[in-house]
Amino acid sequence: MNVLQELLEPTGEPDGWAAYGDEKKERVGFFTDTSVCIGCKACEVACKEWNLIPEDGRVWTGESYDHTSQLGANTWRHVAFVEQRKPLFGNGDGSTGLRWLMESDVCKHCTHAACLDVCPTGSLFRTEFGTVVVQQDICNGCGYCVPACPFGVLDQRKIPSTLNVGHKPDLPAIGPIERGGKEDGRVWKCTLCYDRLKGGHEPACAKACPTKSIQFGPLEELRERADARLAKLEAEGWNGAQLYGRDPDDGVGGFGAFFLLLDEPEVYGLPPDPVVTTRDLPEMWTNMLVAAGTLLAGIASLTLIGGRR
């Protein structure tokens, strides 16, 4: 195994997390149980208010009650509404055949995050809690991370640039300050409320969720809780109940923010089998080096033959 392959070999824990040493905290994340989501959007509002995210979603989309459509630079929590002609239970009992599936989507904070691999400035980094955060002060807006994400989470802000002042313990929260009329261009996404974590608080969306659909805590504890919840729904005969992103052996090493869904991931606009997009880089670089070596050897042979003439 060459050096590049060793660097990209899955480790079973988030890349760069172990480097914190004694400062490393227990890995935390989200478990979103969509079976109890009521679509109230309290998580969207709390996320925007705490993180001072610019407004969006004021245009009627015509997609049920979904006014933001997808995650983006100005939508870090997105509540999806899916209307189905499908019974709630597998045998059809207790249902008219019409159900609404509601799901609060968010950055997955992948164990093996391609966005980290491709960022040239180090703007994207792994925190001591195992989460993934963008540092806007050193983001150069190159956008490499945007197509690298298998979930389409990352996005560049297209509105005029602002300075996100944030919350101070001894001052009231104040809004964004304009930094000029130029388009921002930097990448923004969920930080899992890194500032709140450092202060010992749970993220704003989980705090605001009235049904505890969004649960925050140590990741291993959340996985155990999710397994128990899935077993209960399966025993009750719920239609399509499954965990998405819970498995550490999946294509991204498991999510830091995973879900209990009531249908296939595609129904919610999620990829069915996500894979870290930098997975094949070692093989690609090896093939390129072999091809380059073969080309150089051919040129050297031709030069030698020409010299003999």
Domain identity same for 15 and 128: yes
pLDDT at 64: 76
Rg (CA), the chain: 23
Domain identity same for 307 and 214: no
What total number of domains does the chain contain? 2
CA dist 183 and 132 (Å) reads 24
Collapsed DSSP state (helix, strand, coil) of residue 104: strand
Domain identity same for 307 and 258: no
Domain identity same for 184 and 286: no
pLDDT at 282: 56
pLDDT at 268: 93
Domain identity same for 10 and 104: yes
Domain identity same for 26 and 66: yes
Domain identity same for 130 and 254: yes
User: What CATH number is given to the structural domain containing 187?
Assistant: 3.30.70.20
Domain identity same for 286 and 268: no
Domain identity same for 256 and 305: no
Domain identity same for 243 and 294: no
- CA 65 from centre of chain: 23
The structure's pTM equals 0.80
CA dist 293 and 219 (Å) reads 46
pLDDT at 166: 46
CA dist 229 and 250 (Å) reads 20
Cα–Cα distances (Å) from 39 to 64, 189, 211, 232, in that order, read 11, 21, 10, 22
Q: Provide the strand spans (E) within 166-283.
A: 177-183, 187-188, 214-218, 242-244, 257-261
| Beta-carbon-side half-sphere exposure of residue 20 (alpha carbons within 13 Å) | 18
Cα–Cα distances (Å) from 158 to 118, 162, 288, in that order, read 21, 11, 36
- For residue 238, the 8-state DSSP code is B
Domain that holds residue 171: 3-278
Look up tokens 């000029």; give the residue: 180
pLDDT tens for the 309 residues of the chain, in order: 454 444 445 556 888 888 899 899 999 999 999 999 999 999 999 999 999 999 887 777 777 788 888 899 999 999 999 988 888 787 655 556 788 899 999 999 999 999 999 999 999 999 999 999 999 899 999 999 999 999 999 999 988 765 554 444 443 333 444 445 678 899 999 999 999 999 999 999 999 999 999 999 999 999 999 999 999 999 999 999 999 999 998 989 999 999 999 999 999 999 999 999 886 555 544 555 656 666 676 676 666 666 655
Domain identity same for 240 and 208: yes
Domain identity same for 81 and 197: yes
